[in-house]
Chain A
Amino acid sequence: MRQLTAIIAFLFLMVYGEFSHAQQASIKGVITDTSNQKKLENAVISLLRKSDSVLVTFTRSNKDGVFLLNKLPAGEFVMLISYPSFADFVDPIKLEPNSALEIGDINLTLKSVLLKEIVIRQNATMRLRGDTVEYSADSFNVRPGASVEDLLKKMPGIQVDKDGKITAQGTNVEKVLVDGEEFFGDDPTVATRNLQADAIDKVQVFDKKSDQAAFTGIDDGQSKKTINLKLKEDKKKGYFGKLELGGGLNDRWNNSSMFNRFRAKKKLSIYGIASSTGKTGLNWDERNTYGSGSDNMEYNDDFGGFMFYGGGDEFNNSNYYGEGLPKSWATGINFSNKFDADKQNFNGSYRFNKLNSEGVGNTISQSISPDTVFYNTEGRRTLNSRNRHSVNGTYEWNIDSATSLKIIASGYLGKQSTFTDFHNESLNEFGDTVLKSVRQTSADGDNSNLKLNALLRHKFKKTGRTISLSLDQQFNNNSSDGYLYALVSTYGKLGLPEDSTTNQLKKINQKVSTFNTRLVYTEPLAKKIFLELNYAIRSNTSDAERLSFNQSGSGKFDDLDSIFSNHYKFDVLSNTTGAAFKYNGKKFTGSIGSDISFQRFNQKDQLNDTALVRNYTNFFPKANIVYKFSSNGRVSLNYTGSSRQPSIQQIQPVADNTNPLAITIGNPLLKQEFRHNFNFNFNSFKVLSERGIYIYGSLSTTSNAIVQSTRIDTSGKIIYQYINTNGNFNTWSGGGYGMKLKKWDLRINGGFGFSASKYTTLVNGEKNVTNNYQPQINFNLGKFKDKKYEIWYNGSFGYNFSRQSIRTDLKTTYWTQDHNLNVNVQLPHKFEINTEIEYNLRQKTVVFDQNNDVFLWNGYIGRKFLKNDKGMIRFSANDILNQNKGYNRVINTNVLREDTYQTLTRYFLLSFVWNFSKTPAGGINP
């Protein structure tokens, strides 16, 4: 025992001794210039660790050329002495603990003296240090299917051991790049064993000290021995895709398959969808991968973010939101390629969509006239079938660094057929039936569209001087043949029905074409001030033929009904020019300017042979200011003035009796409306405290607003006519505050919204102003943990108010509530459960007395399987409580209505989802 203690004490002393003396070595020397025999001051003496060249310490020589490095640890070092214009002095040094090394004079030699020698030596060492050594892969024979590793083994100077470790020129290779990019982390074998030899064009070996900047764009500093594998262009190929099959009882199915194949820069993708659960097209993610990408994105400097704008019609949406039960089919093919060193790229696609829907719906409405009120109910059954073939193409050419051209072309051809069966009843103020009607409409139509857009941009050498020219063309054609049958029974004071029947063939043919050319030139006036000049010419031509035929004695529909028939042409030609000044500062940006526009309306009634020509001159002022008060906060204010021309439907002097209970008449004397639009935006986000606040507001007032006047007759029938009125405005605003409760890791947000409008029109010849406003508050809570769970709750309460000036006693007010809860939990054994509850409550009113509350509960349970969780089996249930219905309430005019309609309700679906991919080059995705 005593012996042991002694040993420990001895060891302790030894260790202690090591520590106390370790810092005690020192080096002393004098730096001199050989040729001039002068002492050199300020020479740098660096001590590097011999094993890895790490700088341990350094000093400079004093004016006598003397230097002293002390408190040095023991070990092996390299001493590096440098002095401007002199050759480096490098010497290995071994320091014993506690030693004081006296080197004496160190002679440095001017580089100029050594020049010759160095050149010779460098030539000799060039090979050893080397530049990039490049091997051409094809000059080495390997068996088909051989890996890169097999290929490397054949190359002189490269060895590969049994573990895949590579040695090049005697040094261990630590990194393998593929086309200059890192290939799944640092393990070189990932690339060499998974890539096939025949995919390789060249093998490049960098020496330890060569510069990799050429490959990564920036020196990555890791001076490891590196091999770069250059792939053959045509071998960068592979595919990936997705298959989803789902089926349930009651004719519910949802199937889709998508496939993308890529080869070098060519990409080809195809997809197919068949669904009776509302999927009509590709969703956002899928569009990026299998469609033509997200071109619908624009940077907006006002709020410093990206704006996404959606397609618009039911064929561009990924889901069906309309009335009835949908059945949809969609297929598409997309091809894209880049060429000419990526200077040119092309993207083309073809799509086919077909959508059938059938459903029933009800509308309750209240029509308010100055002296009375009518209550109307409508029931309907609709069958709808639409299809469309679309093509799209985009070509971009960056002609040089200053000039670019972009051409977008798209078009479609579509067919539509609809059949609807209506039955209506109207009650007067006292609850007496004043009207009953049954009606069937049907129509078969064709529609087509062609759009062309070309944009040429050029930047001049002077910063800020640019010119751009854009050309737009658009053609739109709609034609349809349809039948209207309506039997309307009106009940007079005596309660006796008086019947009127309409039985007509309707032929509609409408063509709209637009040409627009715009030239914009910007010139820098000062460092931050730019002038923008623009000129545009725009021509808009509309031609609409709406013909109605009654049955003649022969039973054929060949008796033209002149009241409901018209052929009208409406052309608008506008010349616009303007100037704007822009200030582009660091914190402030702003612009101010105005356009002036000369417009000529040319209207011609083809059947009555009358014509009307009108000229307008308009100023379109615009101003905008953005202040960035912090890196994540900005406030902006925006004003624009704009005009809107009447559409052909609004201006065509013909009565549309498609619904004999609500006839719409166009007005050829309509003026264009002028709108002043103000926008306000404020947002601030505190990143570190994870709090954000935003407020926005918008106000637009319209002079000569195009509105519909209403004339309600004694049986509750309405005649709408387009007129111009003044005093209308629209406003909406909102705001919110969001934060994270760090203690609970809980995100909470609260906000408000407010919208209001004033709508002035004529009702039975009397001026009526509808005031309506809707305040709303909302809040949400969320908590999530990546790959574990996700919970979100959203709630909102809103109040709705509407009042007519002609009947201030009949105001409409009601509350609405919406709640939404979404929970997703990843369970053990690769199970996943998801549930979503949407609870919508709408307060009943005197008129809208139906209970339209919906408690919609959806959920699914799924299990992932296959390698990398690429497969999933899922059982999903939609509307478990079978309560869903479509709903809409409109209260902003004197005709208030509530629609309810059939939509997808309870169904169960068992689905199988499989994501697959194959990348022969070992897993590089495009």
Chain B
Amino acid sequence: MKSLLIIFPILLLGSLTRAQETFILEGKIEFEKKINFHKALDGLADNDFDNSWIQSMKKNFPATITTYFNLYFDHSKMLYKPGREVPPSSPPVPDWLVGPAVDNIVFTDLDKKENIGLKHVFENTYRVEDSVRNIEWRITMDTRTIAGFSCRKAVGRIMDSVYVIAFYTDQIVPNGGPESFSGLPGMILGVAIPRINTTWFATKLELVTVKPEELTPPKKGKKVTVKELLEQLKGPMKDWGKMGQRNIWSIMI
């Protein structure tokens, strides 16, 4: 018993001092993706009088929809894919209300600056192959602790008007993040996109060794570039009003 008590402070000290210098080069991060569904429903109302059916849906369905993703990474490659399953709510929120592209698999090659994403978009499966998205990140002095890491807040904009708030930590060296987000000096552990009422926050990091064969790009799906995909969505989504716009944003992130 005594020896245990002695070991404990030593361990603590050791971990403290090491934390100052330890940089993480590979591992697995679990992300919790949350859609604030009730807020999203509010955003779908085309006028004030749509309200009664939105109210009725709020009564039927939960306020947030939570799913989990895992990001496996080494110094140059990353694979983001659906993680542990959560039992659906009862009744489950119908897919057409949750929206498309909710179970993406995204492969990123940081050296080649390449992104390969497998997205289920309604009846089609696309393999979006393109260069890593170039986002103008505005760096702030705000910090926030996510999954035990001190993260700095950066604000970017995609698709002209959709703001993305990202929190990255310099303690994880590969410059990646969830979905197709990357390009900050460190790993992105938190993303919030207010327009689609969605956040991704890391819940934990596991220091596992990632084999190179585990980091392979998805092969299925119809190959398209980001621009081509956007073109294909514009037509079918144009009669969907606010829901169509929201769907485009959700797919194109």
Report A's interface with B, CB cutoff 8 A. Answer: 41-44, 46, 48, 52-55, 58, 60, 80, 82-86, 88, 110, 209, 216-223, 285, 288-289, 293-295, 297, 299, 301, 304-306, 463-464, 527-528, 530, 584-586, 589, 628, 630-633, 686-690, 742, 925-926
The CA of A41 and the CA of B185, in the complex, are separated in Å by 14
Chain A residues with CB below 8 A from B170, complex form: 42-44, 82-84
Contact of B122 among A85, A218, A586, A687 (CB under 8 A): A687
4 new A-B contacts, CB < 8 A, other than A83-B170, A220-B163, are A43-B170, A55-B185, A301-B91, A690-B236
Overall SS of chain A's interface:
loop
Query: Given the known A-B contacts A82-B152, A632-B122, are A223 and B36 also in contact in the complex, defined by CB atoms under 8 Å?
Result: no
> Which residues in A have their C-beta under 8 angstroms from that of B3?
none
B residues within 8 A CB of A223?
A: 140, 155
Given known contacts A55-B139, A688-B233, A42 and B173 CB-to-CB distance under 8 angstroms: yes
Interchain CA distance A527-B85 in the complex, whole Å: 11
Instruction: Please indicate the chain A residues that have their CB under 8 angstroms from the CB of B197 in the complex.
Output: 217-218
- A54, B137: Cα distance in complex, Å: 5
Within 8 A of A (CB), among B210-243: 232-233, 235-236
Residues on A with C-beta less than 8 A from B23 are: 41-42
Looking across the interface, which residue of chain A has its beta carbon closest to that of B169?
Answer: A84
Quick check: B164 and A221 within 8 Å, CB to CB? yes
Known contacts A586-B85, A688-B232: A216-B56 contact under CB 8 Å: no
Q: How far is the CB of A188 from chain B (nearest CB, A)?
A: 18
Tell me whether B96 and A293 are in contact (CB under 8 A): no
Hey, which chain B residues are within 8 Å of A686, CB to CB? 122-123
CB pair A218–B123 under 8 Å, yes or no, is no
- Most chain B beta carbons < 10 A, residue from A52, A218, A288, A299: A218
Closest 4 CB pairs of A and B: A687-B122, A221-B163, A58-B185, A631-B95
B139 to A632, Cβ gap below 8 A? no
B184 within 8 Å of A (CB atoms): yes
Which residue of chain B is the closest to A58 with respect to CB atoms? Answer: B185
Contact A218 B192 (CB under 8 A): yes
Between A and B, 28 residue pairs with Cβ closer than 8 Å are A43-B170, A44-B185, A46-B139, A53-B138, A53-B140, A54-B139, A55-B137, A84-B19, A85-B19, A216-B194, A218-B194, A218-B197, A218-B199, A222-B163, A223-B140, A293-B52, A299-B91, A301-B91, A301-B94, A306-B57, A528-B87, A584-B88, A586-B88, A631-B122, A632-B123, A688-B122, A688-B124, A688-B233
Could you say which of A55, A285, A305, A631 contacts B100, with CB atoms under 8 Å apart? A631
B22 to chain A, nearest CB (A): 8
Interfacial chain B residues near A285, Cβ < 8 Å: 49
Contact for B139 among A80, A86, A216, A306, CB less than 8 A: A80
* Residue contact A632 to B95, C-beta cutoff 8 Å: yes
Q: Digitize B80-111: 1 where CB-to-A-CB distance is under 8 Å, 0 elsewhere.
A: 00000101101110111000100000000000
- Chain B contacts of A88 at CB under 8 A? 141
With a cutoff of 8 Å between Cβ atoms, the chain B residues found around residue A585 in the complex are 88
Roughly how many angstroms separate A737 CA and B61 CA in the complex, as a whole number? 30
Residues of B within 8 A of A630 (CB): 123
Distance A58 CA – B92 CA, assembled complex (angstroms): 45
1/0 contact string of B137-170 vs chain A (CB within 8 Å): 1111110000000101011000000011100011
Shortest CB–CB separation between residue B239 and chain A, in angstroms? 9
- Residues of B with C-beta under 8 A to A209: 140-142
Report Cα–Cα, A670/B110, bound state, in Å: 79
CB within 8 Å of A: which B49-93 residues: 49, 51-53, 55-57, 60-61, 85, 87-88, 90-92
Chain A residues near B48: list those with CB within 8 A: 925-926
A91 CB to nearest chain B CB (Å): 14
A386 → chain B closest CB, angstroms: 29
B253 in contact (CB, < 8 A): no
Chain B residues within 8 Å of chain A by Cβ, number: 60
Docked complex Cα distance between A690 and B123 (Å): 10
CB distance from B250 to the nearest CB of A (A): 12
Question: Which residues of A have CB within 8 Å of B152?
Answer: 82
Instruction: Look across to chain B and name the residue whose beta carbon is closest to the beta carbon of A40.
Output: B21
Binding site for A on B (CB under 8 A): 19-20, 23, 36, 39, 48-49, 51-53, 55-57, 60-61, 85, 87-88, 90-92, 94-96, 100, 120-124, 136-142, 150, 152, 154-155, 163-165, 169-171, 173, 183-186, 192, 194, 197, 199, 232-233, 235-236
User: Do residues B53 and A306 form an inter-chain contact, with CB atoms below 8 A?
Assistant: yes
User: How far does the Cβ of A131 sit from chain B's closest Cβ, in whole Å?
Assistant: 13
Known: A220-B163, A299-B60, A926-B48. Contact between A52 and B138, CB under 8 A? yes
Which of A84, A297, A464 has the most CB atoms of chain B within a 10 A radius of its CB? A84
How far apart are the CA atoms of A42 and B185 in the complex, in Å? 10
Closest to B194 in A: A220
Complex Cα spacing A355 to B20, Å: 83
Q: How far apart are the CA atoms of A55 and B154 in the complex, in Å?
A: 9
Neighbouring A residues of B96 by C-beta, 8 Å: 304, 631-632
Bound: A585/B89 CA distance, A = 10
For the complex formed, measure the closest distance between the CB of B251 and the CB atoms of chain A, giving whole angstroms: 10
In the complex where A82-B170, A297-B56 touch, is A55 in contact with B164 (Cβ < 8 A)? no
* Neighbour of A304 across the interface among B51, B95, B169, CB < 8 A: B95
Would you give the shortest CB distance from B120 to chain A, in whole angstroms? 7
Within the complex, which residue of A55, A293, A301, A689 is in contact with B138, where a contact is CB–CB below 8 Å?
Answer: A55
The answer to whether A742 and B137 touch across the interface, beta carbons within 8 angstroms, is no
B residues within 8 A CB of A289?
49
Q: What CA separation (Å) do A223 and B137 show in the bound complex?
A: 13
Chain A's closest residue to B120 (CB) is A631
Which partner residue on chain B sits nearest A742 by CB separation?
Answer: B235
Contacts of B183 in A (CB 8 A): 55
A301/B92 in contact, CB under 8 A = yes
* A299 vs B186: C-alpha distance when bound (angstroms): 45
**In the complex, what residues of A have CB within 8 A of residue B164's CB?**
221
CB distance from A630 to the nearest CB of B (A): 6
Q: Nearest A residue to B192 by beta-carbon distance? A: A219
Q: Contact: A306 with B56, CB < 8 Å?
A: yes
B186 and A44: CB pair below 8 A? yes
Given A46-B185, A690-B236, are A584 and B92 neighbors across the interface (CB < 8 Å)? yes
Instruction: Give Cα A43 to B171, complex, Å.
Output: 9
How far is it, in angstroms, between the C-alpha of A613 and the C-alpha of B136 when the chains are bound? 83
What's the Cα separation between A890 and B88 when bound, in Å? 47
Partner of A221, one of B51, B141, B192: B192
Question: B192: which A residues are within 8 A, CB to CB?
Answer: 218-219, 221
Question: Is A218 touching B39 in the complex (CB atoms < 8 A)?
Answer: yes
Contacts of A463 in B (CB 8 A): 87
Q: Which residue of A lies closest to B123 (CB)?
A: A686
Beyond A83-B170, A631-B96, whether A60 also contacts B185 by CB under 8 A is yes
Min CB distance A15 to B, Å, is: 25
**A294 and B155 alpha carbons, distance in the complex (Å):** 41
A588 to B140, CA, bound (A): 46
Q: Using CB atoms, name the residue of chain B closest to A305.
A: B94
A304 touches B94 (CB 8 A): yes
Q: Name the B residues within 8 Å of A220 (CB-CB).
A: 163, 194
Smallest CB separation, B74 vs chain A (Å):
16
B87→A527 contact, CB < 8 A: yes
Most chain-B CB neighbours within 10 Å: which of A42, A301, A528?
Answer: A42
A878 to chain B, nearest CB (A): 27
Q: How far is the CA of A229 from the CA of B135 in the complex (A)?
A: 33
Q: Is the CB of B52 within 8 A of A294?
A: yes
Which of B20, B120, B121, B235 has the most chain A CB atoms inside 10 A of its CB? B20
**Which residue of the partner chain, among A55, A110, A527, contacts B136 with CB atoms under 8 Å?**
A55
Query: CA of A216 to CA of B192 in the docked complex: distance in angstroms?
Result: 13
Bound Cα distance A138, B159 (Å): 43
Give the CA-CA distance A742 to B236 in the complex, in Å: 10
Whether the Cβ atoms of B123 and A688 lie closer than 8 Å is yes
